[in-house]
Amino acid sequence: MTALIIEDEQPAARRLARLLSDSDPTIQIGPVLESVSDSVTYLRTNSHPDLLFSDIQLSDGLSFEVFRQVEPRCPIIFTTAYDEYAVQAFKLNSLDYLLKPIVSRELEAALMKFKRTTAPPAPSALDFGQLVQALNQSQRTYRQRFLISYRDTYRAISTREVAYFYSESKITRLVCPDTKWFPIPETLEELTDQLDPRLFFRANRQCIISVDSIMAIHKHFNGRLKLELTPAAPEEVFVSRERAEELKAWLNQ
């Protein structure tokens, strides 16, 4: 089986190649293509692989432009950091996808799906036009700040000033690096949808952390991870074995 990667971020490309090799050591991975122009040139002059992994946003445009110029003769799995609403567009167009940061179990499931089925017909130019439209309509902005009532005044706190959010006794706390905390009306479930997933991670049912709040990560019993946060959380913060790999992938972007 041969695979080709279109990805302009070298760390992401290296991670995907490593995960592919770990999942199936027999996979032959071709050169990493970093732009629309490079991809078009390669696909016009070389045999197409059995399976193609493509990021969406490349240095010189959307990867859909590649497939408008060169008809793909293999299935495509898109790798994307777009949110769940954009993902619906991929489902409607019968395309597989992996959300970044890619984790091994999702990649393995995609490979199993590919191996169980015959190669589907390549999407048409109309399909890619619909994808572009859906993505443009579904791009969203994430929460930028919180307006906090503080004594007799109001204070606007940027999300980049937040160390973590912690839920205790049905109260959600916004905790700042200087140890100050403020009650906010949102639940952690609501915050999970509002916050940029590149900056915040839902560690468990009680805590959403920012990347800068992590002082240390300790291996714990039964595959769990114990997080040492700054400032210190009211109680010890653990990440389950099921979410540990997602945390490591999030930190390794």
pLDDT digits (tens, 9 = 90+) for 147-202: 998 778 899 999 999 999 999 988 999 999 998 899 999 999 999 889 988 899 99
Domain count, the chain: 2
Of 136, 154, 187, which residue is a domain's last? 136
- Highest average pLDDT, of 94-98, 122-126, 218-222, comes from 218-222
Of 136, 164, 199, which residue is a domain's last? 136
- In this structure, the answer to whether residues 215 and 108 fall within a common structural domain is no
Return the structure tokens found at 105: 């179990």
- In this structure, the answer to whether residues 162 and 122 fall within a common structural domain is no
Query: Can you tell me the mean pLDDT for 45-56?
Result: 92
pLDDT band at 95 (very low <50, low <70, confident <90, very high): low
- In this structure, the answer to whether residues 43 and 23 fall within a common structural domain is yes
- In this structure, the answer to whether residues 191 and 226 fall within a common structural domain is yes
* Domain with 192 in it: 145-251
- In this structure, the answer to whether residues 157 and 207 fall within a common structural domain is yes
- In this structure, the answer to whether residues 67 and 20 fall within a common structural domain is yes
Q: What angle do CA 122, 128, 133 make, to 5 degrees?
A: 160
- In this structure, the answer to whether residues 8 and 132 fall within a common structural domain is yes
**Which amino acid belongs to residue 77?**
I
Of 136, 153, 181, which residue is a domain's last? 136
Return the structure tokens found at 86: 């954009």
Q: What is the CATH number of the domain that holds 92?
A: 3.40.50.2300
Say if residues 6 and 54 touch (Cβ distance below 8 Å): yes
Percent of the chain predicted with pLDDT > 90: 49
- Count CB atoms within 10 A of the CB of residue 172: 20
Pairing of strands 76-80, 51-55: parallel
Residue 139 pLDDT > 80, yes or no? no
- In this structure, the answer to whether residues 121 and 154 fall within a common structural domain is no
- In this structure, the answer to whether residues 247 and 167 fall within a common structural domain is yes
Q: What is the CATH number of the domain that holds 202?
A: 2.40.50.1020
pTM: 0.56
- In this structure, the answer to whether residues 119 and 180 fall within a common structural domain is no
